[in-house]
Structure 1
């Protein structure tokens, strides 16, 4: 729980804007690639172990609106795995919130996600898999260390409740 509180403080620290920069512009043609690890535990089969990996790509289709794809995988040693793949859209809040820091990008959105999981309980001889389509949601922020590279934190539901990683702007 202490790690989770630290993560929340880290996110809040990344999201604080300063007045010395112009606003972060997310316009038509903006491109973002996120890659990170999932922290915390849940995922399809309800087991809280394993390490999640995920990535997303977003393309600006209008001012403050991006659409793209997302994928993630989480393996559970000796038990099974969980994966998700889908499409999502995000709204970027910097303009509405009057954030004046071009290094910060705050966003939230929804997606249509196919999730699947498989399990192999070898000690009882039980194997299976299941998959289905569902609604996904996310709330996140990016902090750019340079014009093209930064870090991101994203909360949502899916492979992990919190994902941290690196982001690239094209």
Structure 2
């Protein structure tokens, strides 16, 4: 996993190259892709601990407003998996907070997320699944160290208490 993440980061950095920064704007047509890991705690349906993989994609629909999708997966070797998929929206606060840093994007939002848990305890013969729709929320920031490549961190509920990873702007 560590080798794959490092290779992914290296290839993305090479592809995006060195170019000058323009003012980071979030408006109609802006596109963001976050891909990373979810750390710890809970999911939309209860405790699910561990490290998971997740991604979100959002498109600007108006100044400072984006909407999109989110998904996450966390497997438990031999026992089952936890997964989430849903829609979300974010408001980007740079303008209101008068953040002049052109590499930083501060945002927060809500989502509607279907979360499920499936299990297979072969030693005991139990199999099943459970799922439901719940409300998700997030507060996060992206920092772009290249015009189209950065890092993100989000705290929230519905997928994982903390998510970190790479962010791409299209």
Shorter-chain TM-score: what band?
A: 0.7 to 0.9
Partner of 2:52: 52
2:85 matched to 1:74? no
TM-score normalised per structure 1? 0.82
Q: CA RMSD in A?
A: 1.7
1:141 is aligned to 2:136: no
Shift in Å at residue 108 of structure 1?
A: 0.4
**Offset of 1:22 from its aligned partner?**
7.9
Alignment of 1:12-161 (within 5 A): 24-43=24-43, 44=45, 46-49=47-50, 51-161=51-161
- Size of the aligned set, in residue pairs, is 149
Residues 45 and 82 in structure 1, CA contact (< 8 A), matched pair in contact too: no
Alignment partner of 2:146: what SS?
coil
Match of 1:13 in 2: none
Q: Distance in 2 between matches of 1:160 and 1:111?
A: 13
Deviation readout 1:94-117 (Å, 9 max, x if unpaired): 011010101000000001111111
> More strand per residue: 1 or 2?
2
Unaligned runs of 5+ in 2: 1-20
Conservation of the 8 A alpha-carbon contact between 1:82 and 1:159: no
Residues 63-87 of structure 1 deviation map (CA, whole Å, 9 limit, x = unaligned): 0000001111001122210111111
- Structure 1 segments unaligned to the other structure (5+ residues): 1-20
Distance 1:110 1:123, change over 3 A: same
Contact 1:23 1:94 in 2 (8 A): no
Moved more, 80-89 or 125-134: 125-134
Distance 2:86 2:52 in 1: 16
Q: How far apart, CA to CA, are the structure 2 residues paired with 1:128 and 1:80? A: 9
Q: Distance in 2 between matches of 1:115 and 1:140?
A: 21
| Kept after mapping to 1: 8 A contact 2:32/2:169 | yes
State the Cα deviation string for residues 21-80 of structure 1 (Å, max 9, x = none). Answer: 98631111110001001112333462423x200001000000000000111100112221
SS in 2 for 1:29: coil
d(CA) in 2 for partners of 1:149, 1:47: 30
Flag as ranges the 4+ runs of structure 1 deviating above 6 A. Answer: none
